[in-house]
């Protein structure tokens, strides 16, 4: 793992929801083995874990997620019926602010970039300066799940996985000469007939909402509960429901783009933690996912 002094190691951390916690396990291994990181590019969850690593205190975020269970996780699910996304994302940011105590990207210990997709201009947007939480929020704005970020000029920003799921090119633009890429969504390694279930959050949230008397006793509350019931039922029917179609189409698109990008610009090391069995919502299983990242890094560097 030794590199000449003039070489600069960069991390390219991909998106994948809760599976992205595996990035912290990779970092644990690198830290224990004395491999210095010179810059970090992150997409979606990779932008979140990358910010924690670049802040110099990633273990605080790891411990924060490790303390979560479903009871603590559900209050962070801020449903919005704006029509542009299921979740608002403000409560997720509030949680991140408790564990990443740096406000601006310029204050991070090492160069950092968060990747988002600008739907208005049809181009990649890379945040290397400015408000760190604004950059992360744009990068993890999964279409259909989180509401998009609207910039001052009216540009609509969404999850960077649309344009660069594993941001190897962005890491290179930061000055990295040797890149460690971590792909956690599973789209490169998962068998075609093996699918992960990313809908448990909706079902679990529905169960919790049914307990609230204000919802069960009002017309508008009943409409909300009915929407959840119809959405869950659609996921169980054939042909596939809305969320499954969106997820599979997005996975297919991202897989093809990612394969082409990595073939054209191969990283020095590509780490693919075995996190297929985890949902994008399984933040309450943080310790297991982080451990998978550590194991994957260990296997990669001991080949």
* Residue 11 contacts residue 37 (beta carbons within 8 Å): yes
Composition of the chain by helix, strand, coil, percent to 5:
50, 15, 35
Tokens 């996985």: give the residue.
161
Residue 44 falls in the annotated catalytic set: yes
Euclidean distance between CA atoms 265 and 292, whole angstroms: 26
159 among known catalytic residues:
yes
Tokens of 271: 């780490």
Q: In residues, how long is the chain?
A: 303
Q: Which of 248, 244, 259, 100 is nearest to 189 (CA)?
A: 259
User: How far is CA 91 from its chain centroid?
Assistant: 16
Q: Is the dihedral of CA 29, 9, 263, 46 positive or negative?
A: positive
- List the catalytic residue out of 139, 159, 198, 282: 159
Residues acting as catalytic residues: 44, 159
């Amino acid at each position: 793992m030794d590199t000449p002094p003039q070489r600069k190691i960069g991390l390219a951390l991909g998106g994948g929801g809760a599976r992205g916690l595996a990035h912290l396990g990779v970092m644990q291994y690198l830290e224990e083995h004395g491999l210095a990181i010179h810059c970090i590019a992150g997409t979606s969850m990779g932008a979140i874990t990358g910010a924690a690593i670049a802040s110099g205190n990633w273990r605080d975020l790891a411990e924060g997620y490790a303390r979560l269970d479903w009871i603590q996780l559900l209050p962070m699910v801020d449903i919005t019926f704006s029509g542009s996304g299921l979740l608002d994302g403000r409560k997720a940011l509030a949680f991140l602010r408790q564990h990443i105590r740096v406000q601006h990207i310029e204050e991070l210990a090492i160069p950092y970039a968060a990747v988002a997709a600008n739907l208005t201009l049809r181009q990649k947007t890379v945040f290397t300066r400015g408000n760190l939480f604004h950059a992360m929020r744009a990068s993890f704005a999964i279409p259909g799940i989180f509401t998009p970020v609207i910039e001052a000029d009216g540009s609509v920003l969404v999850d960077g996985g649309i344009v660069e799921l594993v941001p190897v090119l962005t890491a290179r633009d930061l000055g990295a000469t040797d890149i460690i890429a971590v792909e956690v969504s599973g789209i490169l390694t998962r068998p075609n007939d093996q699918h992960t279930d990313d809908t448990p959050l909706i079902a679990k949230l529905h169960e919790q909402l049914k307990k609230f008397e204000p919802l069960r006793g009002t017309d508008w509350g009943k409409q909300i509960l009915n929407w959840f019931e119809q959405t869950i039922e659609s996921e169980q029917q054939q042909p596939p429901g809305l969320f499954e179609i969106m997820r599979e189409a997005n996975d297919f698109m991202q897989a093809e783009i990612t394969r082409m990008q990595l073939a054209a610009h191969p990283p020095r090391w590509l780490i693919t933690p075995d996190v297929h069995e985890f949902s994008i919502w399984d933040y309450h299983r943080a310790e297991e996912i982080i451990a998978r990242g550590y194991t994957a890094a260990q296997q990669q560097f001991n080949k």
